[in-house]
Amino acid sequence: MNITLTQKERLLLEDQKSHEELCVKKYTEASNQAQDPQLKQIFQNHAQAEQEHLNSINQILSGKVPSMNQQQGQQNQQNQQGMESGNQSQMNVGNFNQKDKDLCHDLLNTEKYVSSTYDTTIFECTDTNVRKVLNHIQKEEQQHGEDIFNYIISKGMYTPQ
């Protein structure tokens, strides 16, 4: 399906594109720097998902609505991997290094920001199918944040008050 974007939609989507490019870069670098193999895997999974987000944004910018079926299958697979990782990490409370903690907090803050920027973009889109794709991406961003949050809790890096 071909779509025509308004000037405002195009500007907002260009912003989302730059956010996704940054997420790909940050997760890739973080996976190379992380000490914990479990955390490396989480970051690698997220880098792949962020690349898919970037691909989807690029498709929208080119006037096409990406297929949701492919994205949903990848999200379900990554969520399953994240849950398995979370279960394994419960045994290692308090076992972390400062670099991993810093990476987690940086990426959690990045996810908070990126997820929030999707709100405005979603509300400004005129095409329902584009909104659905962006909403799906936003949910995945929130899942990335939850994965990191669960990891830092399980490792004793943060204790909610």
Residue-level pLDDT at 95: 62
Residue-level pLDDT at 89: 42
Residue 106 region by backbone torsions, left for phi larger than 0, else alpha for psi between -120 and 50, else beta: alpha
Tokens representing 1 are 């399906």
Residue-level pLDDT at 110: 98
Rounded CA-CA distance 75/147 in Å is: 12
The pLDDT of residue 106 is above 80: yes
pLDDT (tens digit per residue) in 139-158: 999 999 999 999 999 999 98
Question: How many folded domains does the chain comprise?
Answer: 1
Tell me, what CATH number does 35's domain have?
1.20.1260.10
- Domain assignment present for residue 68? The answer is no
Q: Which residue has the higher pLDDT, 34 or 67?
A: 34
pLDDT (tens digit per residue) in 5-62: 999 999 999 999 999 999 999 999 999 999 999 999 999 999 999 999 999 999 999 9
- Domain assignment present for residue 76? The answer is no
Rounded CA-CA distance 10/89 in Å is: 41
- Domain assignment present for residue 50? The answer is yes
- Domain assignment present for residue 100? The answer is yes
Tokens representing 3 are 């779509």
pTM of the complete model: 0.85
- Domain assignment present for residue 77? The answer is no
Confidence of residue 161 (pLDDT cuts 50, 70, 90): confident
Residue-level pLDDT at 85: 47
The pLDDT of residue 92 is above 60: no
Residues 6+ apart with CB under 8 A from 52: 71, 74
- Domain assignment present for residue 1? The answer is no
Q: Which residue has the higher pLDDT, 74 or 21?
A: 21
- Domain assignment present for residue 82? The answer is no
Q: Which amino acid is at 105?
A: H
DSSP string computed for the chain: -B----HHHHHHHHHHHHHHHHHHHHHHHHHHH-SSHHHHHHHHHHHHHHHHHHHHHHHHHTTBPPPHHHHHHHHHHHHHHHHHHHHHHGGGTT---HHHHHHHHHHHHHHHHHHHHHHHHHHH---HHHHHHHHHHHHHHHHHHHHHHHHHHHTTS----
Residue-level pLDDT at 160: 82
- Domain assignment present for residue 142? The answer is yes
Domain region containing 22: 7-62+89-154
